[in-house]
């Protein structure tokens, strides 16, 4: 896997319909001067990312997973000088401490948690894009320190859901529900830094030359994958997606549309939770295999494939063996893209 200093350069394709995001304020917004808000210092046109969490289902810390990481999904993206975060699994906690300038990752000795001080030394501005609301993708959100700092500008975007009686559940409804007193000791109202909640089920979000597109994928509940474009650079993030199942309510032409959605992406981060043998047991659970991810990457003509949503029971050693096997299959099959497994905190750059 190549880091930011020597990542490979590849192409891009754009296809989408623009839609507006409907945002609901739950706290009074405030405009800060540019020098008061922490943003990445990347040059315009830059697109790079690091995985802050790579595991699926449940966090799995320990000596056997320290290489690829044991946190659940979170992607930290720096796009044309703007920070975007995708998913809020347990990996978002240490990211929040780093951005706020406290805790071990920032060189300090403090820690952020539901019972401690949540105001950092720096103000943070970012948008968090959620793919869906299963526990492993949202359980870190209450521990994202900048969200509790009234000086922050945090916007949360994701797909609205359908309730048991057919009612629409907004992103704000869903976050508020998971932080209800039966499940969590601190109410959502404590997150003073969260300014807006927005909906993006399928469509496009655009700001300052950064384009984020969403498409529904095959997974329980309304789940989306995202594609980020900055100029001719692009990454696609699809952490939960069962490519071969017909169990999910998508259109008959879904695969063709999905290939178009991914087409030419510099880097594809895709669900590869199972081996082929394991899939025989877990078909219908909403996840794909290593080989299935390679097949969709081939169809879409991507530049690099990163296996993601690692099984929490899979050790680093076992995952390394599976990656080696996938690379051998790629050589035999004449595949043109690079293959690796996502590692926590490793920077990857898209484009030249």
d(CA 159, CA 139) in angstroms, rounded, equals 17
* Residue 119: pLDDT band with limits 50, 70, 90: low
Q: Is residue 11 part of a domain?
A: no
Alpha-carbon distances of 114 from 41, 109, 307, rounded to whole Å? 30, 17, 32
pLDDT at 42: 61
Closest by alpha carbon to 286, among 29, 57, 5, 47? 57
- Is the pLDDT at 116 greater than 80? The verdict is no
Burial label, 133 (beta-carbon count in 10 A; 0-12, 13-18, 19+): buried
Query: Helices in 70-197 by DSSP H: which ranges?
Result: 91-100, 135-138, 171-178
Please tell me the number of Cα atoms within 13 Å of 153 on its side-chain side: 15
User: How much of the chain exceeds pLDDT 90, in percent?
Assistant: 78
Q: Is residue 10 part of a domain?
A: no
Q: Is residue 15 part of a domain?
A: no
> Structure tokens of 1?
């896997």
pTM of the model: 0.86
Q: Give the domain range for residue 215.
A: 23-349
Residue pLDDT, tens place only, 164-216: 999 999 999 999 999 999 999 999 999 999 999 999 999 999 999 999 999 99
Our count of domains for the chain comes to: 1
CB atoms within 10 A of CB 301: 16
Cβ–Cβ < 8 Å for 197, 170: yes
- Mean pLDDT of all residues in 291-309: 98
Which residues are CB-neighbours of 321 under 8 A, at least 6 positions away?
A: none
| CATH code, domain carrying 114 | 3.60.15.10
> Structure tokens of 199?
């909906």
- Mean pLDDT of all residues in 94-121: 62
**Averaged pLDDT of the chain:** 86
Q: Is residue 297 part of a domain?
A: yes
d(CA 61, CA 312) in angstroms, rounded, equals 9
Query: Helices in 185-309 by DSSP H: which ranges?
Result: 254-262, 276-282, 290-300
Task: Please state the length of the chain.
Answer: 352
Q: What is the layout of strands, in order, in the sheet containing 82-86?
A: 23-25, 194-199, 153-158, 125-129, 82-86, 74-79, 47-53, 347-349
Select the more confidently predicted residue: 4 or 106: 106
Please tell me the number of Cα atoms within 13 Å of 294 on its side-chain side: 25
Q: Is residue 314 part of a domain?
A: yes
* Residue 123: pLDDT band with limits 50, 70, 90: confident
Cβ–Cβ < 8 Å for 240, 282: no
Residue pLDDT, tens place only, 275-289: 999 999 998 899 999
* Residue 248: pLDDT band with limits 50, 70, 90: confident
Closest by alpha carbon to 329, among 291, 279, 300? 291
- In 21-59, which positions are buried (b, 16+ CB within 10 angstroms) versus exposed (e)? bebeebeeeeeeeeeebbebebeeebbbbbbbbbbbbeb
pLDDT at 48: 97
d(CA 55, CA 40) in angstroms, rounded, equals 26
Q: Is residue 200 part of a domain?
A: yes
Residue pLDDT, tens place only, 3-41: 433 333 222 222 233 333 333 334 333 332 333 334 445
Helix H or strand E segment including 129: strand 125-129
Cβ–Cβ < 8 Å for 154, 128: yes
Q: Is residue 207 part of a domain?
A: yes
Q: Is residue 17 part of a domain?
A: no
pLDDT at 121: 64
Cβ–Cβ < 8 Å for 262, 293: no
Select the more confidently predicted residue: 36 or 65: 65
Question: In DSSP terms, which residues pair with 75 in a beta bridge?
Answer: 51, 86
């Amino acid at each position: 896997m190549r880091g930011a200093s020597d990542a490979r350069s590849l192409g891009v394709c754009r296809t989408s319909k623009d839609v507006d995001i409907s945002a609901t304020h739950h706290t009074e917004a405030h405009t800060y001067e540019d020098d008061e808000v922490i943003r990445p210092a990347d040059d315009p046109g830059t697109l790079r990312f690091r995985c802050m969490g790579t595991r699926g289902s449940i966090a799995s810390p320990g000596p056997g997973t320290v290489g690829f990481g044991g946190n659940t999904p979170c992607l930290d993206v720096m796009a044309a000088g703007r920070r975007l975060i995708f998913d809020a699994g347990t990996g978002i906690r240490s990211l929040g401490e780093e951005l706020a300038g406290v805790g071990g990752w920032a060189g300090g000795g403090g820690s952020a948690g539901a019972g401690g001080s949540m105001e950092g030394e720096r103000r943070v501005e970012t948008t968090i894009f959620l793919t869906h609301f299963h526990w492993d993708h949202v359980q870190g959100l209450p521990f994202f320190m900048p969200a509790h700092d009234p000086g922050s500008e945090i916007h949360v975007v994701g797909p609205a859901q359908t309730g048991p009686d057919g009612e629409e559940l907004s992103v704000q409804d869903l976050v508020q529900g998971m932080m209800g007193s039966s499940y969590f000791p601190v109410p959502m109202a404590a997150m003073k830094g969260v300014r807006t909640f927005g909906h993006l089920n399928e469509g496009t979000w655009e700001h300052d030359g950064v384009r984020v597109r969403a498409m529904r994928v095959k997974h329980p509940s309304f789940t989306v994958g995202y594609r980020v474009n900055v100029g001719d650079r692009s990454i696609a993030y699809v952490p939960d997606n069962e490519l071969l199942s017909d169990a999910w309510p998508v259109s008959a032409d879904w695969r063709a549309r999905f290939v178009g959605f991914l087409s030419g992406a510099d880097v594809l981060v895709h669900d590869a939770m199972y081996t082929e043998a394991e899939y025989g047991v877990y078909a219908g659970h909403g996840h794909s295999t290593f080989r299935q991810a390679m097949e969709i990457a081939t169809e879409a003509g991507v530049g690099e494939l990163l296996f993601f949503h690692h099984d929490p029971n899979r050790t680093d050693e076992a995952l390394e063996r599976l990656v080696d096997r996938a690379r051998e299959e790629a050589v035999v099959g004449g595949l043109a893209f690079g293959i690796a497994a996502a590692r926590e905190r490793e920077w990857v750059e898209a484009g030249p």
